[in-house]
A and B are shown apart, each in its own frame.
Chain A
Amino acid sequence: MWKTVLRRFLVMIPQLFILSIIVFALGKMMPGDPFTGLITPNIDPSAIERLREEAGLNDPIPVQYKNWMVRIFRDGDFGKSYTYKMPVTSLIGERAANTLWLSLLTLIIMYLIAVPMGIYAGRYQNSRFDKAVIVYNFISFAVPLFVFALIVLLIFGYRLGWCPTTGSVELGIEKGTLAYALSKLHYMIAPAITAAVLRTTYTVQYLRNEVIDAKNQDYVKTARSKGVPVNKIYSHHIFRNSLLPIAAFFGFQITGLLSGSVFIETIFGYSGMGELFISSICSRDYSVINALVLLFGFLTLVGSLLSDIIMSAVDPRIRIE
């Protein structure tokens, strides 16, 4: 087990290395540098040149890459955002918490919808409920996230006024109070449900198929002939055996949530990392963009790592020697 985990970690290192090179290369391809914004007709070009020299921007590319990496690892320093005039780390830190809470809530809602749906649809196969689930699944698979989010926002935000249309927390509430937490939850609930509803597809489908397959398995027949109540067979025997594909998709869910957060946060005006990414792309705030791409890439890698670890923990057959 630990061997598998260790091996998976070792695979991740070159992946991270290549990712960092891609991000660095993208950063170099971007027009201008942190000092371009300072250039005015009154400033002496040699002063800018001196600043560049001091920041190491005239060094050979490999040296710059090394310095960049060293700064990130040693000091956790991603540079400074020049639209917000603050260190990138503290800027992202604020938003990262928002995104993580939103993702967590989305995951919880997603499983709350998907798990019972998949199990009941599989248990009562070909019933009316099952057919409804199939239709729901088809729609949630086909509908693009941004269109769905806009329509939700239109109906529940603007027409019915049930959810706030922009922002991540009510202004003027003191941090740390219960009212603050509740207000946050109020702002999170609509984007979370929207994202969750469209993310259920795979979980529902796999769970349903697993349950249908499991019904004819020997262990289920044995349990039934022993006299185990049907409900208990479903909740204990079948459900646990069907968890494997769900576990396998867990990392994938995180990845999907992160890339979906760009759309969800932009549409609902929720200030998280996705929204920060779009706004810093618009203002060409390169140090923030670089740090965010690196962070998202890292989180995605962690997601797939997590997926593999969970898989090998749940299913011993998958472990590599």
Chain B
Amino acid sequence: MSDKNIDVKAVASEIDEKALKEANEVTSFWEIIKREFKADKTATVCLILLIIIFATVIIGSLILDQKAVMKINLRNKYLPPSKDFILGTDIGGRSIAAQLLIGGRNSILIGFAVTMFTSIIGIMVGLITGFYGGKVDNGIMRIADFVSVLPATLLIITFVVVIPQYTMWHFIFIMTIFYWVGFTRLVRSKALSENRKDYVNASRIMGTSDLKIMLTGILPNISSIIIVDLILSFAGNIGIETGLSFLGFGLPPSTPSLGTLVSYARTPGAMSDMLWLWLPASLLILVMMLCINYVGQAVRRASDAKQRLG
């Protein structure tokens, strides 16, 4: 009898402790995202689809020999989809399916690289302008304003044509010059509002260095918004890159992109009877865009307590 009593007490205190722990513990952002994905099945499907696409494209392009794929064989010119060529061939007799893998990898990597560079610049400049304000902020934001009113598409195309010995890195660099502004504005506005909060002031009074406040104080507090924007701008950058490559002024001809494949649509006859030339790449871009954006929306909902589903 007495044993049982003690047991009940122990169990009760255990439960109490657990509840206390849960109440004190702030669920991490990843936990919240996981919960959100559990609640939103479409988002989960999109995420899985994306992982499958990325894995196939990256592993597939590793296995494939790029030189063999890009070798011209005129005897196979414009073959419709068949057993040998699942998605048919292009003007040079090259397999569309293999080009899809290589082009997909290039587009994804470029989108990723541009997102990385713009976000690094955006986070650094945004934190500095938001934290210090005043003249620094004014000067840098003037430049940002100016860059944002430039006709980016036209200038990028002109740069691509003008640069001698143009490579993939030039393209990443040019895109970064024009697209760092959005990220900077976002980080700056968030840093500005964080800057007024008590914890930053407290930390300042305690004599914490500016750099430490920015990196360990403000940055973690705005990280969820940054993650959302990373995902959305990743999709955006893939869109811009494929669009420019579609026009013929994105990646250099030696590195095919999904946009290059879509641009086969402009060869005579492609629209009326050679759909296999460009439709698979277009659909791949479409599916990727929709999925990345949907995942981004789910993460955005997770970052805002009012909108959460899970």
Residues of A near any B CB (own CB < 8 A): 15, 18-19, 22, 26, 29-31, 138-139, 141-147, 150-151, 153-154, 157-158, 165, 255, 258-259, 262-263, 266, 277-278, 281-282, 284, 289, 292-293, 296-297, 300-301, 303-304
Contacts and interface: CB of A to CB of B under 8 A. Distances in A.
Given A26-B159, A147-B282, A154 B246 contact: no
Given A26-B159, A26-B162, A147 B247 contact: no
Q: Pick the most buried of B158, B235, B239: most chain A CB atoms within 10 A of its CB.
A: B158
A146 B262 contact: yes
A141 B157 contact: no
Given A142-B290, A259-B154, A281-B158, A147 B271 contact: no
B155 A22 contact: yes
A166 to B, nearest CB: 10
A282 B157 CA distance: 11
A9 to B, nearest CB: 14
A297 B290 CA distance: 31
Interface string B244-259: 0011110000000001
A150 B262 contact: yes
Name the prevailing secondary structure of the B interface residues.
Answer: helix
Interface residues of B, number: 39
B224 interface: no
A165 B271 contact: yes
Given A146-B259, A277-B157, A297-B151, 20 more contacts: A22-B150, A139-B290, A141-B293, A142-B289, A144-B285, A145-B243, A147-B285, A150-B262, A150-B265, A150-B282, A154-B271, A157-B271, A258-B151, A259-B151, A262-B153, A278-B247, A281-B157, A293-B151, A293-B158, A296-B151
Contacts of B152: 259
A142 B285 CA distance: 10
Contact of A153 (B259, B271, B275, B294): B271
B161 interface: yes
B286 interface: yes
A175 to B, nearest CB: 29
- For the complex of A and B, list the 7 residue pairs with the smallest distance between their C-beta atoms, beginning with the closest: A142-B293, A296-B151, A144-B239, A259-B153, A29-B162, A142-B289, A147-B282
A31 B235 CA distance: 35
B272 interface: yes
Contacts of A22: 150, 155
Contacts of B242: 144, 146-147
B265 A300 contact: no
A296 B153 CA distance: 10
A256 to B, nearest CB: 10
B297 interface: yes
Nearest to B163: A29
Contact of A143 (B162, B247, B289): B289
Interface string B146-190: 100111111101110110100000000000000000000000000
20 contacts: A15-B149, A18-B146, A26-B162, A29-B162, A138-B293, A138-B297, A142-B290, A142-B294, A145-B243, A146-B247, A146-B262, A147-B285, A150-B265, A154-B271, A277-B154, A293-B154, A296-B154, A297-B150, A300-B151, A303-B149
B276 interface: no
B185 to A, nearest CB: 13
B46 to A, nearest CB: 11
B244 to A, nearest CB: 10
